[in-house]
């Protein structure tokens, strides 16, 4: 299908490229010395190089940052542990699998399940000695962790809300096909984690037809959205596929390229960017479209400077038309003109929704995606009990929530009474502000966190709820996104109010993103603490309550009222 230039990356002189390129090249298709590192009983860690390679296997080495200084004081090595991320296209999980993953969280991880902003599960706190058993157990559920991280294509997201189910089903099937097609082919994962026999052939014969020996310059992300719901933040993806429906059937996709959130403080050459729609393709063309785009990025992406290695920068450097023509050249055909579509929000629809076939779907708010028991609010136990009786399956959403999907009319009452019994709260219990909030993991596990996020946002929301209530608009939804650093894991630059951590207790604040996930916000306050945040937001919220137009969203209002300028392109974000 797509052949051109596959070896371009390895014909560039390796010594001129980023050290990670040499590491990938020399790793024997992602093997490195991982088995030796796992077998070393002296330390709970693996080597730095192997840590870079295990990411391609869905595994990150971390240490418990709450214990870091105490351990240092005691002259002990950091409390090393691993995060394991599952690959789960479109967030579709059977209840049988849920039960097994729940058991695994208790057996080998920290007793919680973390639902991520890309609709999958993370286990935190897995010790080195339990890593293999954890990966094997995940594989026993017929899931895996291959390419959940690393310089390859990650888990493919897909609009989670099954309220238009035929269309949703068809779109999800394409997300699965795209995901399967772009999975690395190396057998390293199977050899290292599942003890399968090593491949018996010369190293160079190993089949990695799309990625080659150096994989992609950087991570790569794909999401499929079904208008009017933009719950995958389709413009933030390297490739976004926007499903176009004709009489309820999937007619094809508008293809959107070049989204990405990550940036680095004080480095204006880095910025979030939203994707551009380049045209329309038929459903059966989606896999080759994805492959072609990946291959252009593989061959032309920046392999010297990892901060500029995402596809969004390749597009800005080479030009959108150039990039589009390269894709079309490899496809051997041209995109059709993009079709009209309309998004109305990028959040989740909570509570019960009836699907086309008559079954019901319940979207449950899981604050910041952490599934655990907390006093009477026994989310983990409650979902386990529901999973024991419910056959329809669960779906994880791109907003870190969970859908109890496909509940027949006859089961509706039973699910409701289980929710009630275990204190799973009706969405009406929460404010519109909280239901539209999202925070990344940050402390204590994320090695890159500079400030709290998951553990702090709930408190900040409580304070903001007070301000909204005082202003007389307690029920108005405003999208709030927080991350513990500027990497943007909870897509903070798409928050009508966004926060990124700078230092403990200090955040940069952003205003003005679109409620539909179609406009970036703009930096507004720099390195401020809670007091200043609340003091500065209060008058704006009050003015919004008084002066907003009918149905005017907070993000639109702050631009109209002149608090921040509108950001029309990622490269203007830092101006
Ligand atoms: Fe992320 C790195 C957590 C979605 C941009 N992300 C990390 C690491 C692995 C930290 C590290 O490299 O050591 C974090 C692990 C924390 C922990 O303890 O679990 C981490 N990212 C997450 C999750 C779990 C956040 C969450 O609260 O749900 C999300 C897992 C998604 C998944 O299931 O695959 C997560 N990360 C995202 C997103 C959102 C998205 O993809 O829709 C982004 C922004 C979109 C994008 O990629 O442009 C994102 N994560 C990053 C970046 C910055 C990338 C960049 O282009 O600059 C890093 C750092 C890096 O890659 O160098 C990062
Ligand atoms: Fe960690 Fe930063 Fe991602 Fe939050 S945004 S999980 S702090 S890398």
Average pLDDT over residues 364-370: 98
Nearest ligand 2 atom to the CA of 441 is 6
Phi, psi of 137 (to 5 degrees): -65, -35
Q: Could you tell me the two tokens for 540?
A: 């704006």
Q: How many CB atoms neighbour CB 27 within 10 A? A: 22
Q: 347 pLDDT band (50/70/90 cuts)?
A: very high
Percent of the chain residues topping a pLDDT of 70: 97
Average pLDDT, the chain: 95
Provide the token pair at 432.
């519109």
145 close to ligand 1 (CB < 6 Angstrom): no
**In this structure, what token pair is assigned to residue 474?**
């307690």
Checking if the pLDDT of 109 tops 70, the result is yes
* Cα-to-centroid distance, 500 and ligand 2 (Å): 9
pLDDT (tens digit per residue) in 193-247: 999 987 665 555 567 999 999 999 999 999 999 999 999 999 999 999 999 999 9
Instruction: Pick from 489, 495, 498 the residue to mutate for probing ligand 1's pocket: most ligand atoms within 8 Å of its CB.
Output: 489
DSSP string for residues in 294-324: HHHHHHHS-SS-GGG-SHHHHHHHH-HHHHH
Give pLDDT, residue 10: 47
8 Å CB contact between 498 and 513: yes
Q: How far is the CA of 439 from the centre of ligand 2 (A)?
A: 9
Is 272 a pocket residue for ligand 1 (Cβ < 6 Å)? no
Q: Which two tokens stand for residue 215?
A: 């994989």
Q: Residues of the chain with pLDDT > 90: what percent?
A: 93
Average pLDDT for 465-470: 98
| pLDDT (0 to 100) of residue 7 | 43
485 is an active site residue: yes
Q: Is the pLDDT of residue 290 over 50?
A: yes
Q: Give me the pLDDT at residue 207, please.
A: 77
Q: What pairing do the DSSP bridges indicate for beta strands 239-246 and 222-225?
A: parallel
Residue 498 φ/ψ, nearest 5 degrees: -120, 150
Q: By C-alpha distance, which of 117, 123, 83 is closest to 103?
A: 123
Q: How confident is the model at residue 14 (pLDDT cuts 50, 70, 90)?
A: confident
Gyration radius of the chain over CA positions: 23
The CA distance from 231 to 158, in Å, is 8
**Could you read off the pLDDT of 543-561 as tens digits, one per residue?**
999 999 999 999 999 999 9
Q: What confidence score (pLDDT) does residue 202 get?
A: 57
Q: Express each pLDDT in 372-418 by its tens digit.
A: 999 999 999 999 999 999 999 999 999 999 999 999 999 999 999 99
Tell me the CA–centroid distance for residue 64 and ligand 2, in Å: 15
Pocket test for ligand 2, best of 484, 494, 510 (most atoms within 8 A of CB): 484
CA distances from 317 to 308, 413, 573 (A): 10, 56, 16
Within 6 A (CB) of ligand 2 lie 440-442, 446, 448-449, 453, 483-485, 487-489
295 CB contacts (<8 Å, ≥6 apart)? Answer: 2, 4, 5, 6, 210, 330
Q: How confident is the model at residue 163 (pLDDT cuts 50, 70, 90)?
A: confident
**Contact 55 CB / ligand 1 (< 6 Å):** no
For the CA atoms of 427, 430, 434, 435, what is the dihedral angle to 10 degrees?
Answer: 10
State residue 165's pLDDT score. Answer: 80
Compute, in angstroms, the gap from residue 244 CA to the centroid of ligand 1. Answer: 29
pTM value > 0.75? yes
CA pair distance 512, 467, nearest whole angstrom: 18
Q: Is 221 annotated as catalytic? A: yes
**Residue with the larger pLDDT of the pair 127 and 12:** 127
The pLDDT assigned to 164 comes to 74
Structure tokens given for 401: 């929530």
Q: What is the DSSP letter of 229?
A: B
Q: pLDDT at position 463, please?
A: 98
The two structure tokens encoding residue 7:
């070896």
Q: Considering only CA atoms, which residue is closest to atom 55 of ligand 1?
A: 262
Measure the CA–CA gap between 300 and 122, rounded to whole angstroms: 32
Question: Which residue owns the Cα nearest ligand 1 atom 54?
Answer: 262
571 catalytic? Reply is: no
Per-residue pLDDT band at 3 (split at 50, 70, 90): very low
Residues 387/394, Cβ–Cβ less than 8 Å: yes
Does the annotation count 256 as an active-site position? no
Find out whether the beta carbon of 370 lies less than 6 Å from any atom of ligand 1: no
Q: What is the pLDDT of residue 8?
A: 46
Residue 73: which residues within 8 A CB-CB, separation 6 or more? none
The single residue of 114, 187, 213, 221 carrying the catalytic annotation is: 221
* CA 57–ligand 1 middle distance (angstroms): 15
Pocket mutation for ligand 2, best pick of 118, 124, 446 (most atoms within 8 Å of C-beta): 446
Establish whether residue 303 lines the binding site of ligand 1, counting it when its CB lies within 6 angstroms of any ligand atom: no
Residue 384 bears catalytic tag: no
Sign of CA dihedral 284, 290, 293, 295: negative
Spatial separation of the C-alpha atoms in residues 159 and 232, rounded to whole Å: 6
Residues in the chain: 575
Res 425 pLDDT > 80: yes
Instruction: Check if 158 is active-site.
Output: no
Ligand 1 centroid from CA 221, angstroms? 11
For position 204, what pLDDT does the model report?
57
Spot the catalytic one: 85, 128, 187, 303.
Answer: 85
Residue with CA nearest ligand 1 atom 52: 487
**Confidence check: pLDDT of 85 > 50:** yes
Q: How far apart are CA 458 and CA 341, in angstroms?
A: 34
- In this predicted structure, what is the pLDDT of residue 265? 96
Q: Which of 376, 348, 382 is nearest to 362 (CA)?
A: 348
Q: What is the rounded CA–CA span in Å between residue 514 and residue 564? A: 13
> Residue 195 corresponds to which tokens in the numbers above?
């003890």
């Amino acid at each position: 299908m797509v052949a051109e230039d596959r070896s371009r990356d390895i014909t560039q002189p390796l010594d001129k490229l980023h050290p990670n390129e040499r590491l990938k090249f020399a790793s024997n298709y992602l093997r490195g010395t991982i088995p030796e590192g796992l077998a070393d009983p002296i330390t709970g860690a693996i080597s730095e190089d192997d840590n870079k390679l295990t990411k391609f296997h869905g595994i990150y080495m971390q240490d418990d940052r709450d214990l870091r200084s105490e351990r240092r004081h005691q002259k002990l090595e950091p409390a090393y542990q691993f995060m394991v991320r599952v690959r789960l296209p479109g967030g579709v999980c059977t209840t049988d699998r849920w039960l097994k993953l729940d058991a695994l969280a208790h057996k080998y991880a920290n007793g919680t399940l973390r639902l991520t902003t890309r609709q999958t599960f993370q286990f935190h706190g897995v010790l080195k000695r339990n890593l293999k058993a954890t990966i094997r157990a995940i594989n026993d559920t017929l899931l895996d962790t291959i390419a959940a991280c690393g310089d390859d294509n990650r888990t493919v997201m897909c609009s989670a809300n099954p309220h238009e189910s035929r269309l949703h089903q068809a779109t999800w099937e394409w997300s699965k096909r795209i995901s399967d097609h772009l999975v690395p082919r190396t057998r390293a994962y199977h050899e290292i984690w599942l003890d399968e026999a090593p491949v018996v052939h010369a190293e160079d014969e190993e089949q990695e037809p799309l990625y080659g020996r150096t994989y992609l310059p950087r991570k790569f992300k794909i999401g499929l959205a079904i208008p009017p719901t933009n719950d995958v933040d389709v413009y933030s993806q390297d490739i976004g596929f926007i499903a176009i429906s004709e009489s309820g059937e999937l007619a094809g996709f508008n293809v959107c390229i070049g989204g990405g959130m990550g940036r680095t403080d004080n480095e204006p050459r880095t910025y979030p960017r939203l994707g551009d729609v380049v045209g329309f393709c038929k459903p059966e063309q989606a896999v080759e479209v994805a492959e072609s785009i990946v291959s252009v990025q593989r061959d032309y992406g920046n392999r010297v400077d990892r901060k500029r290695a995402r596809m969004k920068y390749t597009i800005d450097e080479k030009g959108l038309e150039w990039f589009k023509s390269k894709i079309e050249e490899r496809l051997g055909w041209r995109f059709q003109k993009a079709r009209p579509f309309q998004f109305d929000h990028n959040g989740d629809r909570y509570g019960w929704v009836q699907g086309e076939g008559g079954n019901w779907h319940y979207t449950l708010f899981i604050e910041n995606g952490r599934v655990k028991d907390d006093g009477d609010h026994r989310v983990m136990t409650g979902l386990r009990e529901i999973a024991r009786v419910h056959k329809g399956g669960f779906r994880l959403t791109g907003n870190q929530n969970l859908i109890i999907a496909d509940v027949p009319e006859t089961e509706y009452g039973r699910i409701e009474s289980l929710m009630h019994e275990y204190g799973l709260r009706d969405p009406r219990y929460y404010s519109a502000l909280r239901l539209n909030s999202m925070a990344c993991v940050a402390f204590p596990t994320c090695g890159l966190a500079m400030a709290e996020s998951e553990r702090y946002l709930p408190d900040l929301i409580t304070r903001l709820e007070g301000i909204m209530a005082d202003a007389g608009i307690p029920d108005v939804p405003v999208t709030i996104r927080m991350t513990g650093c500027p990497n943007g894991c909870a897509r903070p630059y798409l928050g009508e109010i966004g926060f990124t951590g700078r230092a403990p207790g200090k955040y940069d604040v952003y205003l003005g993103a679109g409620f539909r996930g179609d406009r970036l916000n703009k930096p507004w306050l720099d390195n401020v603490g809670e007091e200043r945040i609340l003091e500065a937001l209060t008058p704006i919220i009050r003015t919004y309550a008084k002066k907003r137009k009918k149905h005017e969203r907070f993000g639109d209002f702050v631009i109209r009222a002149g608090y921040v300028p509108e950001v029309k392109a990622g490269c203007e974000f830092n101006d």
